[in-house]
Amino acid sequence: MKPYSGQGEQSAVQLQDMFRVSMPLPGQLEQHFQAALCHVLQNPGSLVRPRMVLQVAATYALEETAANHLAIALEYFHTASLIFDDLPCMDNATHRRGAPCTHVAFGETTAILTALALINRAYALTWKALAACPQQRQSLGMEYLERRLGVEGLLNGQSLDLHYSALPHTRATTERIAMGKTVSLIRLTLVLPALLAGAPLREVQLLERISTCWGLSYQMVDDLKDVLQSADETGKTAARDVLLDRPNVAAAIGVEGAVERLTRLMRVGDTTLRRLLARNPGLEFLGRLRQDLQGELSRVTANAAELSASAMA
């Protein structure tokens, strides 16, 4: 077995191919089910998660096939979660990845079966990735996956999200939701390949912390955008999230408080990143991720400052 040597530099086309072919479809499928599966497999998202998995895998020399299996497995879990999120009983969305949502194009039933097919395949691919690793890491990896996806992770986050209107609208609540919904998948993306490759415990812990800081920050930037954009468009702070009573930290504690918290999270993230790179310079791709986040962040904080200046004027 050779360690992964591609430095995570798969082209977008290669990743899209892997996304498409890692779910083999038998000849005799029910036709709506078949069409929905093709629809999903032919409309991948940005594939930022599998790219990150491969970069961590390259740094820690995780075996190549295991790295590929894990990268696609996590993207299938993510895609399945989006199909469920978009259902009428959840977010009732109509479009996703530039195409109609699966339930819009093929009906709810077929959308659910399609998401379950992705989940079934994702566990099988994860199992293949685990099987290539030493036994002790296998149990660690499986437990980590179960915790992040299950009742302590993604699923509880989604449940809190959907019952937000009945919960206290505080930073604690919005962060609990973001921990479940957003941070869980980022943790799987950055930490699981490191765990499976046998990365030093201290580095795994730092990757955990970075995932938390950046996951929460990412969600906060989204929340701020929602509030600031609507302020910009309508001249009032009646954000879409507020209208729909959706979790939004900027709506819960105000723009200023949210920007303050975001700044602090980014500062902790930066300290963590410096420590991590001092231990393992091979993780420098994380610095580029940090820069991307900074771009978004600067725009948002500039908008927030403008808003606050015009409010005072």
**Distance of closest approach, residue 72 Cβ to its own copies, in angstroms:** 14
45-84: which residues touch its own copies (CB under 8 A)?
84
Does position 156 interact with its own copies (CB under 8 A)? The reply is yes
The single residue among 25, 99, 243, 305 that binds its own copies, judged by CB under 8 A, is 25
Which is nearer to its own copies, 65 or 237 (by Cβ)? Answer: 65
Helices (H) and strands (E) in the chain, counts: 15, 2
Contact residues for 160 (Cβ-Cβ < 8 A; gap 6+): 167, 173, 176, 177, 180, 247
Which is nearer to its own copies, 88 or 257 (by Cβ)? Answer: 88
Count of beta carbons in the 10 Å neighbourhood of residue 272: 21
Does position 29 interact with its own copies (CB under 8 A)? The reply is yes
Residue 119 near residue 170, CB atoms below 8 Å: no
* Binding window for its own copies (CB under 8 A); candidates: 19-27, 61-69, 194-202, 220-228: 19-27
- Gap between the Cα atoms of 62 and 273, Å rounded: 21
Q: In the block, which residue shows the tokens 């975001």?
A: 262
Does position 142 interact with its own copies (CB under 8 A)? The reply is yes
Angle at 202 between CA 199 and CA 206, to 5 degrees: 95
Which is nearer to its own copies, 159 or 308 (by Cβ)? Answer: 159
Q: What kind and span of H or E run contains 96?
A: strand 95-96
**Distance of closest approach, residue 149 Cβ to its own copies, in angstroms:** 5
Q: How many residues does the chain have?
A: 313
- Gap between the Cα atoms of 296 and 169, Å rounded: 25
Does position 99 interact with its own copies (CB under 8 A)? The reply is no
Which is nearer to its own copies, 97 or 147 (by Cβ)? Answer: 147
The single residue among 49, 51, 78, 121 that binds its own copies, judged by CB under 8 A, is 121
Which is nearer to its own copies, 139 or 310 (by Cβ)? Answer: 139
| Nearest C-alpha neighbor of 81 from the set 67, 96, 66, 99 | 96
Does position 173 interact with its own copies (CB under 8 A)? The reply is no
The single residue among 139, 165, 263, 308 that binds its own copies, judged by CB under 8 A, is 139
**Distance of closest approach, residue 23 Cβ to its own copies, in angstroms:** 8
Residue 200 near residue 194, CB atoms below 8 Å: no
Does position 205 interact with its own copies (CB under 8 A)? The reply is no
- Gap between the Cα atoms of 168 and 253, Å rounded: 11
- Gap between the Cα atoms of 248 and 251, Å rounded: 5
Query: Which residues form the interface with its own copies (CB under 8 A)?
Result: 23, 25-26, 28-33, 37, 84, 87, 89-90, 107-110, 112-113, 116-117, 119-121, 123-124, 127-128, 130-131, 135, 138-139, 142-143, 145-146, 149-152, 155-156, 158-160, 162-163
